[in-house]
Amino acid sequence: MAKVRTLILRAPGTNCDEETAFSFEQAGSLVDSAHVNELVRGEKLLSQYQILVIPGGFTYGDDISAGKILANELRLKLGEDIQRFVDGGGLILGICNGFQVLVKAGILPPVENGKSQRLTLAGNDSNSFECRWVYLSVDQKSPCIFTRGISTLYLPVAHGEGKVMAEPETLSELNVVVRYADEGGNVQAGYPHNPNGSADNIAGICDGSGRIFALMPHPERFIRWTQHPRWAREAPRQHGDGFGIFLNAVDWVKSS
């Protein structure tokens, strides 16, 4: 079959696009990078790709609130294109700032019938930028395509607004994929294991199909074992924990 094609979306302030592109290339995908304006002007077409990624960073300086300006651009200028992409079976991955963008654009969880955004990502409880490695527990019942076959992850976080907040009714309806945990897998361990105070220790969610996935930790920062903070002291592995997320996406497209 033809090569899997992935599009990395950029905007002013994006700073994790090259690492994310490299991760997908290592997983076997062809990768293009596009500024959001290239899609708006029709210079690049979303329909030519199977995977869309909104990587980490601080788009538009996180003015107003983290990810809000890019989210408005996607909703108002590219909303129909993105809906066609999703309806056609495309995969969407949002990492850190990408999570914030997908939530505030009403893409995840999906906003339907003109309803307002039901979830947000607010400032960390510590009132500080949190930058550390965290343990994650993967919900084995989740439909998420990106985490198939993965039970735990150890990944870095780097954000100032990562606290998932929503009404209890919305929280109960979420497809939670990953939760912050301690080394033993306890998802109620609290700070600093949960770096932001996120409700229900939520670190990542997906839609009902499992094809739209967003998480605050950075899988693209741990695809090689030598990126692990203890790589010289522990038994080496072929890949870092984050690599499986990219490989699952590419393999799913190949098999679909």
Residue 181: pLDDT band (50, 70, 90) is: very high
Query: Which is it for strands 91-95 and 51-54: parallel, antiparallel or unpaired?
Result: parallel
What CATH number has the domain spanning 5-255? Answer: 3.40.50.880
Annotated active-site residue in 16, 73, 96, 193: 96
Which stretches does DSSP call E strand in 73-215?
91-95, 119-122, 130-138, 152-159, 163-166, 175-181, 202-206, 212-215
Name the percent of the chain lying above pLDDT 70: 99
Strand partners, 165: 120
Kindly report the pTM of this predicted structure.
Answer: 0.97
E strand spans, the chain = 5-10, 30-35, 51-54, 91-95, 119-122, 130-138, 152-159, 163-166, 175-181, 202-206, 212-215
The predicted structure's pLDDT at residue 223: 98
Cα end-to-end span (Å), the chain: 11
Query: Model confidence at 213, in pLDDT bands (50, 70, 90)?
Result: very high
Q: How confident is the model at residue 114 (pLDDT cuts 50, 70, 90)?
A: low
- The C-alpha angle with vertex 45 and arms to 245 and 22, in degrees rounded to 5, equals 35
Q: Is the pLDDT of residue 113 over 80?
A: no
Confidence of residue 2 (pLDDT cuts 50, 70, 90): confident
Catalytic residue among 73, 130, 161, 220: 220
pLDDT at site 116: 78
User: Which residues are registered as beta bridge partners of 35?
Assistant: 10
Q: What is the mean pLDDT of residues 121-126?
A: 97
| 171 vs 161: CA distance, rounded Å | 18
Distance, in Å, from the CA atom of 38 to the CA atom of 81, rounded to the nearest integer, reads 13
> What DSSP designation does 57 have?
B
Mean pLDDT (the chain) is 96
Residues 216 and 95: their CA atoms lie apart, in Å, by 6
Please identify which of the residues 16, 144, 193, 218 carries the catalytic annotation: 218
Is residue 35 part of the annotated active site? The answer reads no
Report the alpha-carbon distance of residue 50 to residue 197 in Å, rounded. Answer: 34
User: Can you give the pLDDT at residue 128?
Assistant: 97
Q: Is 38 annotated as catalytic?
A: no
Q: What is the pLDDT confidence band of residue 115, given thresholds at 50, 70 and 90?
A: confident
What average pLDDT does range 197-205 have in this prediction? 98
Q: Residue 16 half-sphere exposure, CB side, CA atoms within 13 Å?
A: 26
Residue 124 near residue 135 (C-beta atoms within 8 A): no
Residue 1 — very low, low, confident or very high, per pLDDT cuts 50/70/90?
Answer: low
Helix (H, G, I), strand (E, B) or coil at 70: helix
Provide the residue ranges of all domains of the chain, joining segments of one domain with +: 5-255
pLDDT digits (tens, 9 = 90+) for 35-62: 999 999 999 999 999 999 999 999 999 9
Classify residue 114 as exposed, middle or buried by CB count within 10 Å of its CB (0-12, 13-18, 19+). exposed
Tokens standing for residue 248: 């699952």
220 annotated active-site: yes
